[in-house]
């Protein structure tokens, strides 16, 4: 087997996403990887947290990989997928259960395994049940995934993924476990290249509030005032269409607000905040007004620079651009006439896909994908053809001892 591609875990963002993308791509393409200094830029010493370990272990079993070094807080792992075109029997079941006993983000586990579930070459839908956190700081919430990520994946041509929330799991207001099921239908051919370049006008905004029931009216009033004030910045000359949903968070320290704008071309832009500052008794009005101000101004910033994917979605689409067939483009918007730079997360994702499968991004957010899953690519892969050779070249040029 070729020597593993070495990834230094402190590169760019230096967090967990580098690991998730690397292991997800490795399990699909069978390119072995070695990651050192995992999450090396995170405070607290870095290394694998439970959420990362869960994803790595699941993918290693699913792709019959040899995994070494993996444990809680590990800073180095080597992931060597089996080169035989055979998946582990256990993981071909139509029901998959992934359990976490802390509220590690369910959606980050899902982010790690989704490319594998979609492109592993199966023809059967799977139902994946994951327990952990549904609303966790610095990760996509259940609400963001169901209202932004999944519709956007469908817009770019990925078979519709359904999600079913069973119960909420929180990182705030004391740890609490929840669970979600996803039904994923695998792609039966490579993902065609997609173009997210025409944003259109903002047609409607959907607001999701999770807060203690006693705060409902105040929160709604704050939003009304803000919509009145910022109507033109959001809707321009169009008649505003706003829908507000409130759910009782059943805890006086659990506050979450999400705004999702839908454009005339079907694009969804989302911004949210799971309140993570101290909630003081008697100061709840301050919590609601600061959440409303911040989430509105974040969304308006996204709207003003005209991007076709919000800052978070942009990094989450990188892996799909790299696997698609042909050149996919995601317009990231312009600020003062200049293209908006990808976030550090997006740059990191682009670096990882380059290192593992050789896909490159241009400054405008375009990427010529490797057509993963096409017959030609399969033949190449099985018979040691073009792709295999170029991957092997990459192993050599990026191996650890370089
Ligand atoms: N508010 C948000 N809405 C949607 N997606 C988000 C949000 N915040 C973070 N994300 C996404 O979550 C992922 C976070 O990656 P990151 O590497 O920071 O996470 P991590 O595994 O928790 O690692 P670490 O603990 O090392 O930060 C990125 O894909 C990012 O786009």
Residue nearest to atom 12 of ligand 1 (CA): 139
Q: Is 314 a known ligand-binding residue?
A: yes
**Does residue 91 register a pLDDT over 80?**
no
- End-to-end, the C-alpha distance of the chain in Å comes to 17
Same domain, 239 and 146: no
Question: Which residues are known catalytic residues?
Answer: 345
Same domain, 41 and 171: yes
Same domain, 138 and 241: no
| Per-residue pLDDT reduced to its tens digit, 152-193 | 999 999 999 999 999 999 999 999 999 999 999 999 899 999
Q: Which two tokens stand for residue 241?
A: 């269409």
Of residues 110, 92, 37, 31, the one with CA closest to residue 65 = 31
CA distances from 283 to 225, 291, 369 (A): 19, 13, 51
Number of domains in the chain: 2
Q: Is 389 a known ligand-binding residue?
A: no
**Does residue 391 register a pLDDT over 60?**
no
- Determine the pLDDT at residue 87: 55
Q: Which two tokens stand for residue 240?
A: 């505003």
135 DSSP assignment:
B
Considering 274, 304, 334, which residue would you say is the last residue of a domain? Answer: 304
Same domain, 61 and 89: yes
% pLDDT > 70, the chain: 91
Residue-averaged pLDDT of the chain = 91
Q: Calculate mean pLDDT across residues 243-271.
A: 98
Taking the centre of ligand 1 as the mean of its atom positions, its distance from the CA of residue 122, in whole angstroms, is 28
Same domain, 149 and 297: no
**Does residue 390 register a pLDDT over 60?**
no
Q: Which domain holds residue 149?
A: 5-195+309-398
Same domain, 381 and 320: yes
Residue nearest to atom 26 of ligand 1 (CA): 15
- Determine the pLDDT at residue 400: 29
Ranking 16-20, 118-122, 203-207, 292-296 by mean pLDDT, the lowest is: 118-122
Residue nearest to atom 20 of ligand 1 (CA): 16
Is the Cβ–Cβ distance between 103 and 21 less than 8 Å? Answer: no
Considering 240, 274, 304, which residue would you say is the last residue of a domain? Answer: 304
Q: Is 252 a known ligand-binding residue?
A: no
CA distance 100 to 53: 10
Of residues 150, 154, 177, the one with CA closest to residue 164 = 150
**Does residue 265 register a pLDDT over 80?**
yes
- Determine the pLDDT at residue 374: 73
pLDDT band at 86 (very low <50, low <70, confident <90, very high): low
- Determine the pLDDT at residue 123: 85
Q: What angle do CA 42, 33, 351 make, to 5 degrees?
A: 60
CA distances from 159 to 27, 123, 374 (A): 21, 12, 16
Q: CB within 8 A of 355, min separation 6: which ones?
A: 5, 7, 22, 394, 398
| Per-residue pLDDT reduced to its tens digit, 250-260 | 999 999 999 99
Same domain, 235 and 337: no
**Does residue 5 register a pLDDT over 70?**
yes
Strand locations in 160-201 (E): 162-167, 178-184, 195-196
Own/partner contacts of 281-286, CB < 8 Å, gap of 24 or more, are 281/252, 284/212, 284/215, 284/218, 284/252, 285/218
Q: Which two tokens stand for residue 50?
A: 């439970």
Same domain, 14 and 138: yes
Same domain, 285 and 317: no
- Determine the pLDDT at residue 313: 98
| Domain CATH for 69 | 3.65.10.20
Same domain, 75 and 108: yes
pLDDT band at 88 (very low <50, low <70, confident <90, very high): low
**Does residue 125 register a pLDDT over 70?**
yes
CA distance 211 to 232: 27
Is the Cβ–Cβ distance between 26 and 358 less than 8 Å? Answer: no
Bridge partner residues of 369 (DSSP): 326
CA distances from 233 to 58, 202, 238, 266, 303 (A): 45, 10, 11, 19, 8
Q: Calculate mean pLDDT across residues 217-246.
A: 97
**Does residue 208 register a pLDDT over 50?**
yes
Instruction: Please report the ipTM that was assigned to this predicted complex.
Output: 0.98
Taking the centre of ligand 1 as the mean of its atom positions, its distance from the CA of residue 31, in whole angstroms, is 25
| Domain CATH for 250 | 3.30.360.20
Same domain, 272 and 323: no
Q: Which residue has the higher pLDDT, 397 or 323?
A: 323
CB atoms near residue 101 (< 10 Å) = 10
Taking the centre of ligand 1 as the mean of its atom positions, its distance from the CA of residue 48, in whole angstroms, is 15
Q: Calculate mean pLDDT across residues 114-130.
A: 94
Considering 304, 329, 353, which residue would you say is the last residue of a domain? Answer: 304
Query: Pocket around ligand 1: residues whose beta carbon is below 6 Å from it?
Result: 15-17, 39, 42, 108, 138-140, 144, 272, 312, 315-316, 345
| Per-residue pLDDT reduced to its tens digit, 59-84 | 999 999 999 999 999 999 999 999 87
Taking the centre of ligand 1 as the mean of its atom positions, its distance from the CA of residue 386, in whole angstroms, is 34
Same domain, 350 and 314: yes
CA distance 27 to 280: 46
Own/partner contacts of 337-343, CB < 8 Å, gap of 24 or more, are 339/363, 339/364, 339/365, 340/305, 340/307, 342/314, 342/315, 343/311, 343/314, 343/315
- Determine the pLDDT at residue 348: 98
């Amino acid at each position: 087997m070729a020597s593993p591609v070495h990834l230094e875990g402190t590169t760019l963002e230096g967090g967990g996403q580098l690991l998730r993308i690397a292991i997800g791509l490795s399990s699909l393409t069978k390119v072995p990887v070695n990651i050192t200094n995992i999450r090396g830029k995170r405070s607290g010493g870095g290394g694998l947290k439970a959420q990362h370990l869960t994803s790595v272990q699941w993918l290693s079993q699913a792709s019959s990989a040899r995994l070494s070094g993996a444990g809680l807080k590990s800073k180095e792992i080597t992931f060597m997928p089996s080169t035989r075109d055979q998946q582990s029997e256990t993981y071909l079941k139509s029901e998959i259960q992934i359990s976490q006993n802390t509220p590690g983000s369910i959606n980050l586990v899902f982010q790690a395994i989704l490319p594998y579930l979609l492109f592993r070459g199966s023809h059967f839908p799977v139902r994946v049940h994951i327990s952990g956190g549904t609303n966790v700081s610095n990760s996509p919430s259940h609400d963001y995934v169901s209202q932004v990520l999944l519709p956007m994946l469908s817009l770019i041509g990925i078979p519709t993924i359904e999600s079913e929330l069973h119960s909420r799991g929180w990182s705030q207001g004391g740890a609490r476990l929840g669970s979600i099921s996803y039904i994923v239908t695998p792609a039966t051919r490579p993902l065609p290249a997609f173009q997210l370049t025409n944003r259109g006008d903002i047609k409607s905004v959907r607001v999701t509030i999770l807060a203690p029931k006693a705060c409902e009216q105040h929160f709604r009033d704050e939003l009304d005032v803000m919509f009145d004030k910022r109507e033109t910045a959001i809707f321009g000359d169009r008649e505003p269409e706003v829908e507000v949903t409130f759910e009782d968070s059943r805890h006086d320290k659990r506050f979450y607000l999400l705004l999702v704008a839908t454009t005339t071309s079907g694009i969804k832009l989302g911004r949210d905040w799971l309140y993570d500052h101290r909630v003081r008794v008697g100061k709840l009005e301050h919590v609601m007004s600061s959440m409303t101000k911040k989430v509105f101004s974040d969304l308006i910033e996204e709207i003003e620079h005209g991007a076709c994917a919000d800052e978070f979605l942009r990094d989450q689409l990188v892996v799909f651009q790299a696997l698609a067939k042909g050149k996919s483009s995601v317009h990231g918007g312009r600020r003062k006439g200049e293209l908006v730079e990808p976030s550090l997360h997006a740059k990191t994702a682009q670096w990882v896909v380059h290192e593992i499968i050789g896909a490159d991004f241009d400054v405008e957010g375009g990427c010529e994908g490797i057509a993963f899953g096409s017959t030609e690519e399969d033949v190449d892969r099985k018979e040691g053809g073009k792709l295999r050779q170029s991957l092997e070249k990459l192993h050599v040029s990026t191996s650890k001892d370089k």
